[in-house]
């Protein structure tokens, strides 16, 4: 009897490449990038990518952008404005993508889909997130308020809860901690590893080629309004991950649980502002550019899981990748799994039986931060660079998504 295919969507690609990718440094909530809109972060990331020289703006024929919360009054136009102000031809169209924390992976997957369908030869993918500029909002003010019923709420805080199961994102990690017998000590040890590895990678200069330098800038577009990126007074450039810092086991152990279990502010992902950009292209375009691509995009998947254990999403997403490609877990040399919560990644490791020494070897979102729509790009770029650096072949980048989903992308080192 033929086994039934695993649930979820999955697609393989034969001639699609991640040509190059870069990102901004990730700034703490209300930190250095607190006054920069997601659109301007995205423009800066795209212009920084083109400045690296592997690919030119005029060679792009599709723009795909993502940003979860609207952080300026022109947020509807985010992908279009990123393309225009980054120097891409006016005739090139743009589209918005939204799969919560998996959006960055969907940027790559949709770019690869467009290429596979013959609708594009290349695409600019940009994920940009300003957590600091999430608004205080009212959805009922247009019709007025009754006395004492003014209804303004912190959009960021409210968005961290899923109203279907009626629990916060952190509580879904606590559910996994119970299911997979994950202790507070386990979660803190995972966090300590993330901070330690990120510190070692930064000290070794590993992130220098990944992170672009942001400077106060004006984005000119002939015949149109000028945009700008402003940094706080006295800050001339920004190129670091502000959430990454020295920590020790004792400091982590002193932190109080946030959701009544094992998760604390120290062993959960950092809330940060930042953006990432990448160009995906077919083999003919890569040859035309004379580029040495960072990675080949082999396959992408998306799956659904129960919302109350949304953090397990990477496990079935990765299984689906292996099913459609015929590879085994043992074939995969590196995993970049977004660290939404320490207990959540531990649960994925235990569910799949992953070798922890292959997972997030340069630290993850616990240390670096999780700028929602930019995270999938960051994970995939980091994974590709790690494969190239180590001379390894196969890598998987993956994340859970609020609401109960998982996304994953399989990449291959072209030189392995």
Q: Which residues are catalytic?
A: 101, 400
Tokens standing for residue 181: 């017998």
User: What single DSSP character describes residue 24?
Assistant: P
Conformational region of residue 214, where left means phi above 0, alpha means psi within -120 to 50, and beta covers everything else: beta
Whole-angstrom Cα distance, residue 156 to residue 165? 18
DSSP secondary structure of 97-156? --BTBTHHHHHHHHHHHHHHTTS-SEEEEEEEE-STTPPEE-SSGGG---TT----EEHH
Report the alpha-carbon angle 335-302-11, nearest 5: 90
Closest CA to 379 of 274, 308, 293, 281: 274
Closest CA to 126 of 45, 221, 16: 45
Whole-angstrom Cα distance, residue 277 to residue 42? 7
Closest CA to 326 of 12, 24, 102: 12
**In the beta sheet, which residues pair with residue 279?**
20, 124
- Give the H/E segment covering residue 304: strand 295-304
Whole-angstrom Cα distance, residue 298 to residue 151? 47
Whole-angstrom Cα distance, residue 141 to residue 155? 15
Tokens standing for residue 171: 């509580």
Is 256 within 8 Å of 177 (Cβ atoms)? no
Whole-angstrom Cα distance, residue 43 to residue 369? 20
State how beta strands 394-401 and 405-412 pair.
antiparallel
Tokens standing for residue 268: 């959960």
Is 197 within 8 Å of 360 (Cβ atoms)? yes
């Amino acid at each position: 009897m033929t086994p039934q295919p695993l649930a979820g969507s999955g697609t393989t690609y034969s001639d699609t490449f991640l040509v190059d990718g870069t990102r901004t440094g990730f700034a703490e909530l209300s930190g250095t990038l607190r006054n920069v809109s997601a659109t301007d972060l995205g423009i800066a990331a795209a212009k920084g990518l083109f400045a690296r020289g592997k690919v030119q703006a005029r060679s792009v024929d599709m723009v795909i952008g993502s940003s979860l919360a609207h952080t300026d009054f022109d947020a509807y136009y985010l992908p279009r404005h990123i393309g225009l102000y980054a120097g891409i031809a006016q005739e090139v169209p743009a589209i918005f993508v939204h799969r919560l924390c998996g959006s960055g992976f969907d940027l790559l997957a949709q770019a690869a889909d467009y290429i596979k369908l013959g609708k594009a030869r290349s695409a600019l993918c940009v994920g940009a997130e300003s957590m600091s500029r999430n608004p205080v909002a009212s959805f009922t003010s247009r019709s007025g308020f009754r006395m004492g019923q003014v209804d303004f709420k912190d959009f960021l805080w409210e968005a961290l809860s899923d109203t279907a199961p009626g629990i916060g994102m952190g509580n879904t990690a606590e559910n996994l901690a119970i299911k997979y017998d994950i202790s507070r000590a386990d979660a803190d040890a995972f966090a300590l590893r993330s901070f330690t590895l990120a510190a070692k990678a930064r000290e070794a200069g590993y992130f220098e080629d990944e992170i672009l330098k942001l400077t106060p800038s004006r984005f000119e577009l002939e015949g149109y309004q000028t945009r700008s990126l402003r940094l706080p007074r006295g800050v001339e450039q920004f190129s670091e991950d502000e959430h990454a810092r020295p920590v020790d086991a004792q400091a982590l152990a002193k932190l109080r649980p946030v959701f009544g279990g094992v998760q604390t502010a120290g062993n959960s992902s950092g809330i940060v502002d930042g953006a990432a950009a990448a160009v995906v292209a077919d083999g003919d375009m890569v040859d035309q550019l004379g580029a040495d691509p960072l990675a080949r995009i082999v396959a992408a998947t998306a799956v659904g899981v129960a919302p109350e254990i949304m953090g397990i999403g990477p496990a079935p997403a990765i299984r689906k990748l292996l099913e459609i490609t015929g590879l085994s877990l043992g074939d995969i040399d590196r995993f970049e799994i977004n660290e939404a919560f320490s207990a959540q990644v531990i649960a994925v490791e235990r569910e799949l039986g992953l070798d922890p020494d292959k997972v997030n070897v340069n630290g993850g979102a616990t240390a670096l931060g999780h700028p929602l729509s930019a995270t999938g790009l960051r994970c995939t770029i980091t994974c590709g660079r790690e494969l190239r650096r180590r001379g390894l072949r196969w890598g998987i980048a993956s994340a859970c998504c609020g609401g109960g989903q998982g996304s994953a992308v399989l990449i291959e080192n072209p030189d392995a």
